[in-house]
Every structure is written in structure tokens, then in C-alpha cells.
Amino acid sequence: MNQQFKPYSKVAYLTDRGTSAITLTDTTGTKFPVNFISVTASGVDTAGNWFSVAASSIDTSGKTESSIFPAMGMLGSVSGVPGGVASVEKGVVELLLPDIDRVDTIYVSQYYAQPLLLMINYGQVYTGNALRDFQRDKGN
């Protein structure tokens, strides 16, 4: 099996608890639907802080773009969020989605309002196929 991956990366900075939409783009700045996303966070004085990442275009009951489960509101009230939660000190949120569930935007929030640097790696992981490789958009 010939597995392939064209990686892209982005750095984002958060300072509050609100939900931030981060658009995933290729090198030309065009929205780029991906099936692999990895988010790592780093910050100063982050003891006990955690962050949540939700995928944008995966349909979920009760989810709207104006209320994408900010980390502060997740305690005890949300289940089945299409994404992940991790500790700022040691965690990574990694999403490997099937081809049908590609996303071009992620929503990120943190529990405490602290300066937080996010390192985001993303792209498309796929099994190579010599007959189909040129039909798949891999970004510019």
C-alpha cells in the first residue's frame, strides 16, 4: 500500500476563551479541505489549562457555527463533539477523518483566558493509486 501525505502548517495565537475559527489553506491562501489535522498548544503559565478543537463541516445534532462548543461550556454538558480535547502542557489533538468528512475550518477554544500559541499541521492522507492520483486535489 502506498500511503501519501502533503503537509501544511499554520500557527495561531489565542488570548481569550472565545471560540476562534481557523481556516485551513494551501500556499495560495485558498481554502483547502483536509482529512488530517494535528493541533499542539504552548503557553506561559498554562497549568491546568486545556483546549478543544472541533471540526467544521461534520454534521452534529445541535451544532451551529455560532456556538461550536467553547471549552468553557463543555464541562458536563456536551457529548459526541466531532473533535478532541487536550492539555496545553502535554496534549495533542489529532484528527484523521475519512475522505467523505473533509474539513477546511477548525474551531479552537481554551478553558482559561491565557496567551496560547497553537501549532497546526494539516493535509490529506490518502492511499496512492496510480490510476487516480491526478484526480485528487492536493492543494497548491
Domains of the chain in sequence order: 3-126 (2.60.120)
One DSSP character per residue, 12-54 reads EEE-SSS-EEEE-B-TTS-B--BSEEEEEEEESS-TT-EEEEE
Q: What is the distance between the alpha carbons of residues 70 and 83, in angstroms, rounded to a whole number?
A: 12
Of the pLDDT bands very low, low, confident and very high (cuts 50, 70, 90), residue 92 is: very high
Q: How high is the pLDDT of residue 101?
A: 81
pLDDT more than 90, % of the chain: 24
Mean residue pLDDT of the chain comes to 79
* pLDDT category of residue 8 using cuts at 50, 70 and 90: very high
- pLDDT tens, position by position, 117-130: 999 999 988 777 76
Query: Can you give the pLDDT at residue 64?
Result: 47
Question: What does the alpha-carbon distance between residue 2 and residue 75 come to, in Å, rounded to a whole number?
Answer: 41
- This prediction has a pTM of 0.78
Look at residue 121 in the predicted model and tell me its pLDDT.
96
Exposure string for 31-42, b = 16+ CB within 10 A, e = fewer: ebbbbbbbbbbe
The band of 63, judged by pLDDT with boundaries at 50, 70 and 90, is: very low
